[in-house]
Amino acid sequence: MNITIADPQPHTMAQVLKEILLFPANGAGICPVRDVLDRIGDKWSLLIILNLGAEENLRFNELRRRVAGISQRMLTVTLRNLEADGLVDRTVYAEVPPRVEYRLTDLGHSLTGVVIGLTNWATAHTPAIAAARARFAG
Amino acid sequence: MNITIADPQPHTMAQVLKEILLFPANGAGICPVRDVLDRIGDKWSLLIILNLGAEENLRFNELRRRVAGISQRMLTVTLRNLEADGLVDRTVYAEVPPRVEYRLTDLGHSLTGVVIGLTNWATAHTPAIAAARARFAG
DNA sequence: CGGTATCCGTCGTGATACTG
DNA sequence: CAGTATCACGACGGATACCG
């Protein structure tokens, strides 16, 4: 699979951004972009989506082991939010001991494309950012 | 201009995500994806980048008018952070009254592609999320 | 015009303990 | 195993006032 983002033609890129800014209201507080970030911008959502996207489904403690450092509380909280947003499906099996499986919904899967875009940019430009920070600090 | 994200082939998509998760350490706290989000995940950075991407350059108060709702303090703080990360250039002209222009660096421009990806996803799926929320609440 | 300085409320997050 | 409940802290962001 390859993810292609067309080489940005500076001028047209600005046009696209203008259209985005015109949309409903970015001047106001309700911008679609802010909406996504309010969803995945917290500390754990993205890592959870990444992990669920990599496996068909994961149980609570499997997920907890993979997302090292997350507390039980925050895993629960974050999963509930993702479930509420329709990004994650939660299936409880009536067994003892209890088994709960989490998987991405179609909506959740559609987000992974965006996440990969973010990741590609991040890995490509993290060095440049680090350099900029060093320059700015010095 | 068109931005194309290849239609996700479920299986290969999972492969890509696995590779991402293997990278240095997502288990630990230092994930490149988290890095980007720590940068643009705050309340105002994205809107500022969007606006600077749409215009060649903008002065402080021009920017302030466009990003309605932002306080003077937060505009300053956010711009300083973006400058430190090498995403925004700040030019001070020695005039009276003072004139300060902000513009995206090349690094900053490279981010707009990602931002547009985010926006496209957002505008496309916001209704689905709203529906999910309603379902979950009810 | 383009900032800084200070104060203060709120929210996200973590630690800990307990439960069906 | 997969949670919930409670508390407590720290960072983020807003309001206000002042400055070169």
State how far the Cα of A129 lies from the Cα of B87, in Å rounded to an integer. Answer: 8
User: Cβ distance A54 to B17 under 8 Å?
Assistant: yes
Q: What value does the mean pLDDT take over residues A16-43?
A: 76
Structure confidence at residue B30 (pLDDT): 62
What does the radius of gyration of chain A's CA atoms come to, in whole angstroms? 19
Beta strand spans in chain A (E): 58-59, 88-93, 99-104
Check: CB of residue A50 under 8 Å from CB of residue B17: yes
- The pLDDT of residue A31 is above 90: no
Instruction: For strands A99-104 and A88-93, give the pairing.
Output: antiparallel
Q: Do A33 and B122 touch (CB under 8 A)?
A: yes
Arithmetic mean of pLDDT over chain A: 88
- Which nucleotides on chain D have any atom < 7 A from a protein Cβ? 1-6, 12-17, 20
Portion of chain A with pLDDT greater than 90, in percent = 64
Residue A49 reports pLDDT greater than 90: yes
Residues B97-124 have a mean pLDDT of: 93
Reduce the secondary structure of chain B to three states and give it as a string.
CCCECCCCCHHHHHHHHHHHHHCCCCCCCCCHHHHHHHHHCCCCHHHHHHHHHHCCCEEHHHHHHHCCCCCHHHHHHHHHHHHHCCCEEEEEECCCCCEEEEEECHHHHHHHHHHHHHHHHHHHHHHHHHHHHHHHHC
* pLDDT tier, B28 (very low <50, low <70, confident <90, very high otherwise): very low
Q: What is the pLDDT of residue A34?
A: 79
Taking residues B12-33, what's their average pLDDT?
74
Instruction: List, for residues A67-89, the tens digit of each pLDDT value.
Output: 989 999 999 999 999 999 999 99
Question: B47-69: per-residue pLDDT in tens?
Answer: 999 999 999 999 999 999 999 89
**Residue B88: what pLDDT?**
98
Strand C proximal residues, B:14-53, Cβ < 7 Å: none
Please give the backbone phi and psi of residue A78, each rounded to the nearest 5 degrees, phi first: -65, -40
pLDDT in the model for residue A2: 52
Answer yes or no: are the C-beta atoms of B47 and B69 closer than 8 Å: no
Give the pLDDT mean for B83-111.
97
How confident is the model at residue B33, as a pLDDT? 76
State the pTM of this model.
Answer: 0.89
Question: What pLDDT, on a 0 to 100 scale, did the predictor assign at position B25?
Answer: 52
Interface test with B, best of A5, A51, A55 (most B CBs within 10 A): A5
